Amino acid sequence: MHSQLALIERYREYLPITDATPIISLGEGNTPLVKAVNLHRLIGASGMKLYFKLEGLNPTGSFKDRGMTLAISKAVEAGARGVICASTGNTSASAAAFAAKAGLKCYVILPAGHVALGKLAQAILYGAKVIPIEGNFDRALELVREIADDCQVTIVNSINPYRLEGQKTGAFEIIEALGQAPEYFCIPVGNAGNISAYRRGFKQWWQSGKIAKAPMMFGFEAEGAAAIVQGKPIANPETFATAIRIGNPASWQEAELAANESGGLIDSVTDDEILHAYKLLAESEGIFCEPSSAASVAGLIKQLKAGSVLPDALVTCVLTGNGLKDPDSALKSSQVDLTPVKAEAKQLVKAMGL
Ligand code: AN7
């Protein structure tokens, strides 16, 4: 029965909703936690119990839906006319979809030229007003903060207090699926909201006695956008993982605290390491996530080599978004000859390399 409830109804006792809150849902949450059968062996940890939380199976294809269902429900409850966000893509897709269902106007401010095509297509088709700027994500978020009040629109970036509250439900689902918390928890870090949200979820259920121990939180920034690791904002962040191309994370302090107090770490991974993990997930586990999502696995591989993750541990990696959003990255990262061969059996068998 409980799977028929909307995500935020299912966990309502842990969330700031009341009988007066209209529930705007697209069927988010309840995503699969899939056990690795090959990848852990390929990274030299055959005894590892490794699980992937497939957040790309949410209705708009990313984890953002967990927070957006609550942010949009609360915006409707408060009588908002419209919502606005800056985005590297996934927030905009999610905001646009939930706003469409709620009948709210949605304004989306994007860094021109650095949003994966699928995400842009989503925001447009869901009917948002999409405005690219000549600037990066950090500048877009500054502008959104500057104009939201005057324009009488609600910000639905993760600085909206309801976003992270909704996103913490991912931690609850992992605990329910495993019957305990993982020992190590690995996640990509961009604006640093999701790692903060998961920490809230794990901490809340640890403090209420539902789990004996909370996981060590390991967050991974892209090396060219690693503000937290370097201890200073990055003016011109660069990485091929466009979703985490962010130089001044909004939840910087909460994320650092999450890593520190849980005994974990925020580290960085190179584009090459991300690319390697992206392909490994696809080829060894049949999982097509987006490049940014693969930062969690790239980071796991790095920490395993460094000895900070033990090879026989219980580990969960969050795969934050669906690879189908970004087919360009998939094709660009593979050297495949797609020249057509003659439609003849002999030619075909030869092309098959047999
Ligand atoms: C697939 O959509 O910031 O550390 O504007 O799309 O919580 O920011 C997306 C971020 C990881 C990083 N994986 O999460 C946006 C945006 C994917 C993402 C992140 C994002 P945060």
244: CA distance to ligand 1 center in Å? 6
φ, ψ at 283 (rounded to 5°):
-80, -25
Q: Please tell me if the CB atom of residue 248 comes closer than 6 angstroms to any atom of ligand 1.
A: no
Q: What value does the mean pLDDT of the chain take?
A: 97
Q: Please tell me if the CB atom of residue 89 comes closer than 6 angstroms to any atom of ligand 1.
A: yes
- Model confidence at 4, pLDDT cuts 50, 70, 90, reads confident
Summary count for the chain: helices (H), strands (E): 15, 10
pLDDT for 194 equals: 98
- Asked if 72 and 102 touch (Cβ cutoff 8 Å), the reply is yes
Q: Is the pLDDT of residue 21 over 60?
A: yes
Could you give the CA distance from residue 84 to residue 88 in angstroms, rounded to a whole number?
A: 13
Q: Please tell me if the CB atom of residue 87 comes closer than 6 angstroms to any atom of ligand 1.
A: yes
Listed residue (133, 127, 121) closest to 61, CA to CA? 121
**Cross-strand partners of 339:** none
pLDDT for 5 equals: 95
pLDDT digits (tens, 9 = 90+) for 166-207: 999 999 999 999 999 999 999 999 999 999 999 999 999 999
Residue with tokens 């996981």: 215
What token pair was written down for 270? Answer: 């190179």
pLDDT for 241 equals: 98
Q: Quick one: which H or E segment has residue 217?
A: strand 216-222
Question: Of ligand 1's atoms, which has the minimum distance to the CA of residue 194?
Answer: 7
pLDDT for 305 equals: 98
Q: Please tell me if the CB atom of residue 62 comes closer than 6 angstroms to any atom of ligand 1.
A: yes
Q: Please tell me if the CB atom of residue 293 comes closer than 6 angstroms to any atom of ligand 1.
A: yes
pLDDT for 3 equals: 58
pLDDT for 144 equals: 98
Could you give the CA distance from residue 169 to residue 31 in angstroms, rounded to a whole number?
A: 11
pLDDT digits (tens, 9 = 90+) for 153-169: 999 999 999 999 999 99
Residue with tokens 């920034």: 221
Residue among 191, 195, 326 whose CB has most ligand 1 atoms within 8 A, to mutate: 191
Could you give the CA distance from residue 321 to residue 318 in angstroms, rounded to a whole number?
A: 9
Question: Of ligand 1's atoms, which has the minimum distance to the CA of residue 193?
Answer: 7
DSSP-derived 3-state class of residue 286: coil
Q: Please tell me if the CB atom of residue 215 comes closer than 6 angstroms to any atom of ligand 1.
A: no
